[in-house]
Structures are given as C-alpha cells and as structure tokens.
C-alpha cells in the first residue's frame, strides 16, 4: 500500500462560546486525495469545525493543521476552496459577474479566467444560465453557483458545507460524480452532510454528535463494527453508546 | 488587483440598484429645492389692526410693509386675532399707543415688532448723515439659504453616504458574503479600501451633480472655487463612509442601522454650524470639535461664502482625512472578529 500524506490534522480541538461548548476535544486526520464526510445532525458542530479549517474561526483549545501548517494562515487560503452553508452570492449581479469577481480575488485573469469560468460552469451545469441575475436563480442553482465559485482556483483541498442541499437527485448524482473526478485528480474533499445516503459515497466518515466525534472510519467499517446495514443505524448505535 | 475587483463589484451593484441611486441624487436635490423656497420666500407682511386710531397717525403709516385694517371697537380686533386673521392691533389709551400681539409665532411677532418700531420711529431730518453699509464677506442681501446652504450640502452627502455604505456593508455581513470574502486571499485592508474607493467614486459623481444644482440652478452663493467644494465633500464622504461601515458592525439588521441616525447623524447638524455655535452652552461646545460635519461645514462656508482658497481650508481637510484614517483602522481591527489572519 502506498504511503498517503495527511492533508488536514485536527488536534485536540475544542471550541466554546462562553459556557456553551460546541466542539469537544476533536482528534481527526484527513488524508490527501480522499473524500471525507462529516456526518451529523444540525447543531452537531460540523459547520464550526469546517469554518475553523477554512480559517474563519479559531479553536478555543488545540489546533488545526493544513498541509502541515497551522491554521489560520492567509498563505494557505489560496489552496483551499470553501463553500459556506449559506449561499454567499451577490444577488444583484449575474452568475458570470459573481464568478468573475471571485476569480479576480484568487488572482485569475485573462484567458485563464475565461477558461476556468467555463469549466466550473460546466461541472455544475450552469453554462446556459451564466448571464442570468442571481436573484432570479432557484435555490438549487444558487447552491451550484456557490460550488462553482469554490472550484474556480483549482484548490487542492475543498471544504464544502452541505453542498447538495436543495439540489434534485439527478443533479446530486452528477455533482457526486464531479467530486469523484476531482478526487481522481488528487484533490482532497471535506463534505459535511446530514443526508445519510450521501455518506455511503464518502471514502471515510466522521460522525459528529453534540460536538463530539463519536466514530471515524469507512462506511463499510462503521457498518461492520456495529453490525448494522445502514449508516443511519450505525449512527444511532454510536450515538446510543455515547449518551 | 484585488482592490480593483472590489471597486468594480461595488460600482456594478450600485448601478443595478436604480432606486438607491435615485435616492442618493434626487432626494438631496428635492430637499435643497424645498429649503430654497422656504428660506428665500418673501418677507412676512404682518396684518395689523388699528383700534380707534387718530387720523393724523394713520395717514403717516407706511402701509407697504403691513396690511392695515381699522376697527371701531377693541373687541372686534380681538375676535379677528382669535380667528387668525390678524397678527396684532394697536389701541390708543388716552392718546398713548398700546400694542397687543397674537404672540404664538416668533417669526410673525418679530416681523410685527419690526414694522411697529419703524412706524413709531421719529422721522429723520432730510439732511441727516446716511449710514453707509458694506460687508467684508458675502453681501447684505445674502439670504438665509446662502448661509445654511453650504452646511446642508455637506450634511446631505454625509447622511446619505453614511446610510448607504453602512447598509451595504451590513448586507455583506448578513448575507454571508463578507465571510465568503474572508475565505479568499483578500486582505482586510483591501476590503475597507475597496469600499472607500468604490463609494468614493460614486460620491464624486453624486456631489458634483448636487453641488452644481445648488450653485447653478438654485443660485447658492459661490465665491470660491468649485473644485475646492468637491474636495471637501469627497473627504467628508470618505469620513461618512468609513464611519458607516464601522458602525454597521454593531448593527444586526437595517433597522438597527437606522437607529444610528438620531444618535450619530442628527446631533451633528446642531454642532455643524447650522445654528450659531457661540450661543451653545459652554460645557457642550467641545462636541463640535469631534463632529466631522463641523469641519466640512466650516470649510464649505469658507469657500462658498467667504471665497477662501486652499491655504485657509487645508487644516479642515487634514482633520477630515484624520477621521477617515482613524475609522478605517478601526474597521480593519473590527474585521479581526471574523478572521484573525
């Protein structure tokens, strides 16, 4: 088996806002070139964790390391593609203007910029809707545009917070296919979700509940360990053990 | 490069929002026009009743500056005052005149008193020396509008830029785009500078239109250089915009942004020189020195009314620049709340 590098390392991370604890002593290593799913109900702390990885938040205790360097670090930001849970788009502008704006922030210009915009629009299947003003977009289209923006600068690590919410099943399948092809090109993906059937498509999963990481492993391992047939059942098993 | 992207985006967003552009340009024009008509209206002509007045007295009265009417009984005049058809009446008690005023409106009372005093002044002999009147600045026929105008010009720019920039930045935060920006290599100062330049360009256009309208259409007095006026307004706009962005951080929604208007914007009117500052209570007078509008209004009045040039206003410009830089630094510091790197 060839040696794989650690891309993201979460070490002893806890986060609390006042007395309210959001993350409790998380240890987690995410390997280069894998699709890692963070699974858990809303309020489990998924978003807080990925925000810390994207450099938008800092842990109260412990530290996050990306590519062997401690976050937050502005130099690493260029290597990360981040998609927030809420669609952070300029709704007065067209999709193309949004893409152009963000590509300029990542230093893409000229021909390269035009090419990349075409490529990412193709991946999320918005090529025919680029000149539309975003306020006329449906929820699913906005989600896809946010994803396209995260892909623009060809980051090595993609941090995607609930990327497929509100997207129809067929398109969701296509997007997961895109994730697979990104993975084949050596990218690392961190995807948060609370949809259990998506969890099966990840290489490895981390189950989060009430700010604690209750289990980590491949979907197969998790099911085997618990003697269950679905991730959902496995989640209930681990959850029950904890409480 | 990244700043340019920010500037282009802000301008594009503004241009798309036709209604806001309309508000920024036409609202000040509308209000200035209304003020022009209010302040530059005709002098008030008091309506004065004369009760049982001697004929010799009535004959020598100047009825061009007042509307006079004669009454036989005092009661009739009183009734007319109650009906608001008369502002005052003069009665004669044993040959001595007595003035009874309606007295609820200081402007009307003032105009009435002025006319009465003039009417009872002893006639000047024909060869008496005439007082020659000259003014160092402005002119003796300068209206209220000309004196208030420069301050109001500054105020409108301050008010609208403060509000629009504040709300824009607030939206950036509430819609999550600010967080998205902070997940890119964009630096914090680039965000703030991008905002200042983007809105600065727009303000330049806005204030050129408003100031041209005030000077060339409404005929607001303009002794100095138009360019200097624009310079002052631009620096004031920078201050308003950096302050608006800063305060938007402490607001959770648009309504809370509006709540800053009575606290931050309105008091500035009182301390900006719209009203004579010498009559303000001494323990309060220091406030004017911390209000940006005071420095801008002072410079604008110097240019427009007194015809001063750059050497006289540069200190005010520096103070405004100082305010701007201070607020911008605070902005960058406050943004650390969202991203420490």
Cα A134 from Cα A130, distance rounded (Å): 9
The pLDDT of residue B12 is 94
Mutate to test the interface with B, among A54, A74, A75, A117 (most CBs of B within 10 A): A74
B339 touching A, CB under 8 A? yes
> Measured over all CA atoms, what is the biggest interatomic distance in chain A, rounded to whole angstroms?
56
A52 touching B, CB under 8 A? no
Nearest CB among A82, A86, A93 relative to B13 is that of: A93
Domain range list for chain B? 2-39+143-335, 47-120
Q: What is the mean pLDDT of residues B323-327?
A: 95
Nearest CB among B2, B179, B183 relative to A77 is that of: B183
Domain range list for chain A? 1-79+195-243
Contact B244, B264 (CB under 8 A): no
For residue B245, which of B302, B156, B173 has the smallest C-alpha distance? B173
- Looking at this predicted complex, what is its ipTM? 0.89
Cα B333 from Cα A36, distance rounded (Å): 35
Confidence band, pLDDT 50/70/90 cuts, at residue B96: confident
Confidence band, pLDDT 50/70/90 cuts, at residue B66: confident
Nearest CA in chain B to A149: B180
For residue B269, which of B24, B31, B22 has the smallest C-alpha distance? B31
Confidence band, pLDDT 50/70/90 cuts, at residue B186: very high
Chain A environment of B184 (Cβ under 8 Å): 77, 102, 105-106
Cα–Cα separations (whole angstroms), residue B60 to A116, B54, B90, B94, B321: 91, 11, 15, 20, 61
| pLDDT reading at A241 higher than 80 | no
Nearest CB among B1, B17, B179 relative to A104 is that of: B1
For residue B184, which of A200, A188, A75, A42 has the smallest C-alpha distance? A75
Alpha helices in A124-195 (DSSP H): 139-151, 169-184
Buried (b) or exposed (e) across A224-233, using 16+ Cβ within 10 A? eebebeebee
| pLDDT reading at B124 higher than 90 | no
Which CATH number does B47-120 carry?
3.40.190.10
B336 touching A, CB under 8 A? no
pLDDT digits (tens, 9 = 90+) for A131-145: 999 999 998 899 999
- Region at A135 (left for phi over 0; alpha for psi -120 to 50; beta for the rest): alpha
Cα A235 from Cα A219, distance rounded (Å): 11
Alpha helices in B252-309 (DSSP H): 254-258, 260, 266-271, 292-304
Sort strands B47-51 and B67-71 into parallel, antiparallel or unpaired: parallel
CATH topology of domain A1-79+195-243: Rossmann fold (3.40.50)
């Amino acid at each position: 088996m060839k040696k794989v590098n650690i891309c993201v390392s979460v070490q002893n991370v806890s986060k609390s806002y006042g007395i309210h604890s959001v993350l409790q002593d998380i240890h987690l290593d995410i390997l280069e070139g894998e699709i890692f799913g963070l699974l858990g109900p809303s309020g489990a702390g998924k978003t807080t964790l990925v925000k810390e990885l994207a450099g938008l938040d800092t842990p109260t205790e412990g530290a996050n390391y990306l590519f062997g360097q401690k976050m937050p670090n502005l130099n690493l930001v260029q290597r990360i593609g981040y998609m927030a849970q809420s669609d952070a788009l300029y709704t007065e502008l067209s999709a193309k203007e949004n893409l152009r704006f963000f590509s300029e922030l990542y230093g893409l210009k000229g021909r390269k910029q035009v090419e990349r915009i075409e490529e990412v629009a193709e991946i999320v299947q918005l090529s025919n809707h680029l000149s539309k003003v975003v306020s006329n977009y449906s929820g699913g289209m906005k989600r896809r545009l946010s994803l396209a923006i995260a892909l623009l600068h060809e980051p090595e690590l993609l941090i995607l917070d609930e990327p497929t919410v509100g997207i129809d099943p067929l398109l969701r399948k296509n997007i997961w296919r895109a994730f697979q092809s990104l993975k084949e090109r050596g990218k690392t993906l961190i995807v948060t979700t609370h949809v259990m059937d998506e969890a099966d498509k990840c290489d490895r999963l981390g189950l989060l509940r009430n700010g604690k990481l209750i289990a980590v492993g491949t979907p197969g391992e998790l099911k085997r360990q618990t003697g269950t047939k679905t991730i959902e059942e496995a989640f209930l098993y681990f959850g029950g053990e904890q409480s | 490069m990244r700043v340019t992207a920010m500037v282009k985006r802000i301008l594009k967003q503004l241009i798309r929002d036709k209604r806001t552009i309309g508000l920024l340009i036409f609202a000040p024009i509308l209000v200035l026009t209304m003020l022009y008509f209010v302040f530059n209206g005709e002098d008030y002509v008091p309506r004065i009743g004369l009760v049982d007045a001697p004929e010799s007295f009535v004959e020598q009265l100047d009825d061009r500056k007042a509307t006079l009417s004669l009454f036989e009984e005092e009661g009739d005049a009183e009734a007319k005052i109650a009906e608001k058809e008369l502002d005052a009446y003069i009665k004669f008690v044993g040959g001595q005149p007595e003035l009874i005023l309606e007295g609820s409106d200081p402007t009307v009372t003032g105009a009435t008193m002025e006319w009465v005093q003039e009417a009872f002044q002893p006639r000047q002999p024909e060869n008496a020396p005439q007082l020659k009147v000259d003014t160092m600045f402005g002119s003796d026929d300068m209206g209220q509008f000309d004196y208030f105008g420069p301050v109001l010009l500054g105020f409108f720019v301050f008010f609208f830029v403060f509000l629009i920039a504040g709300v824009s930045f607030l939206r950036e935060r509430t819609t999550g785009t600010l967080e998205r920006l902070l997940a890119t290599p964009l630096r914090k100062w680039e965000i703030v500078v991008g905002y200042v330049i983007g809105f600065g360009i727009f303000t330049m256009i806005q204030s050129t239109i408003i100031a041209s309208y005030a000077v060339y259409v409404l005929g607001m007095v303009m002794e100095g250089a138009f360019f200097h006026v624009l310079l002052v307004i631009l620096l004031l706009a920078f201050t308003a915009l950096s302050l608006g962005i800063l305060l938007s951080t402490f607001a959770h929604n648009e309504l809370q942004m509006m709540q800053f208007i009575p606290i931050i914007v309105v008091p500035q009117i009182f301390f900006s020189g719209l009203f004579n500052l010498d009559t303000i209570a001494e323990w309060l007078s220091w406030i004017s020195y911390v209000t940006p509008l005071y420095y801008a209004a002072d410079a604008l009045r110097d240019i427009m009314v007194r015809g001063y040039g750059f050497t006289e206003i540069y200190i005010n410009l520096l103070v405004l620049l100082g305010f701007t830089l201070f607020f911008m630094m605070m902005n960058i510091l406050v943004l650390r709340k969202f991203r420490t790197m």
